[in-house]
Amino acid sequence: MVKKSLCGLTAEEIYNLISPSGFNLSHAVSITNSIYKKRREEISGFAKIPQKLRDELESFSFSGIFQPAAYEISADKTVKYLFRTDTGKEYETVCIPDAKRNTICVSTQSGCRMGCRFCATARYGFRGNLTAGEIINQVISLPDAEKITHVVFMGMGEPMDNIENVLKACEILTAEWGLALSPRNVTVSTVGLTSGVETFLRSSLCNLTLSLGSPFAEERKSVVPAEFHYPVYTIIEMMKRYPREKKRRFSLAYVMINAWNDSDSHLEELKILVGSSGIRVNLLPYHPVTNDPNTSSSSERMQYFKHNLIVSGISASVRKSRGSDISAACGLLAAGLK
């Protein structure tokens, strides 16, 4: 008999498992509290449930919480973790501590099949989707997990290519019976798979970030193959039309590459693309992958873009790089830890 992982299940799903034996929803919530809030790895340590229920759970399930296989610490205190499943899937997670917030950057797939040119994960190839439990485990299995304030789906993989498990993970992260994070503190990033984005916008209140690359469609096709099938203009128009609820944030991630996408014409096209939509533009430095001749735009050029976007009425920021010395920064995750 193959045992079921409890990590990754909702309170309702656990209730459906235990209700035939006479246990109720409050018992199910006690189980989710033991997993998601208390992070108990052994069912024998689950609190506020009868011993009979513990025995029954142990007969067909396990907690689903497991520790990273390896980790590496950056000079700026960013930590990159490597996870390895029983089936051999490997994926990386990044913990980014800061003065007022502690952010976890989670993966949704082992590798990725989007093939983006400037991403190390694309070179790693695609090894498989992660389950909701494997996504959530990246948060709750880490040291000081109770200090985590923000979760970003910006690690390995394309979240919209694994939308069912991503939505379930978002539910667990934000539910009162789960980790009880505010949806405003959870952000999902995508290169823009139309059907997945539409489902996400309709089914979740979490934030959405679109990875742009270039505001020019033909140029974007050369680095983000998804543009051939899912035009970024269509995705942005969808974001513009969708009603904002409870301070939900929509943003564009614009990685700036010297002499490639940082010209004045790119800036002007970016202004047109975003317009008065309320979509924020996050400008990020570029991190070259192996054997890559490209370099990041200068900090002065990035500030120039930011200033011109702001005076045009567009919210913009320059994001500082974290963890680049251990290949933990944007675009560098490739299961390189051993």
Instruction: Give per-10-residue mean pLDDT for the chain (338 aa).
Output: 94 98 98 98 96 97 97 94 94 93 96 92 93 98 94 97 98 98 97 95 96 96 95 93 84 97 98 92 91 93 98 95 82 76
Burial 64-100 (b: 16+ CB within 10 A, else e): bbbebeebbebebebbbbbbbbeeebbbbbbbbeeee
Q: Tell me how far CA of residue 233 lies from CA of 39, 75, 216, 222, in angstroms.
A: 42, 39, 9, 16
Q: What are phi and psi of 129, to 5 degrees?
A: -70, 150
Contact 281, 251 (CB under 8 A): yes
Ranges of each domain in the chain: 4-62, 70-326
Given a contact cutoff of 8 angstroms between Cβ atoms, the answer to whether 206 and 185 are in contact is no
Active site residue 7: no
pLDDT of residue 338: 58
User: Residue 333: what pLDDT?
Assistant: 84
Catalytic residue among 95, 116, 119, 330: 330
Task: Give the integer Cα–Cα distance in Å for 155 and 93.
Answer: 7
Give domain 70-326's CATH architecture. Alpha-Beta Barrel (3.20)
- 304, containing H or E segment: helix 299-311
Q: What is the DSSP string of 11-57?
A: HHHHHHHHGGGT--HHHHHHHHIIIIIS--SSGGG--SS-HHHHHHH
Q: What is the DSSP pairing of strand 90-97 with strand 79-84? A: antiparallel
Q: Give me the residues paired with residue 80 across strands.
A: 72, 94
Domain 4-62 has CATH 1.10.260.40: no
> 217 vs 58, 68, 232, CA distance in Å?
54, 39, 7
92 among known catalytic residues: yes
Q: Which of 7, 41, 90, 92 is catalytic?
A: 92
Q: In whole angstroms, what is the distance from residue 141 CA to residue 39 CA?
A: 7
3-state secondary structure of 273: helix
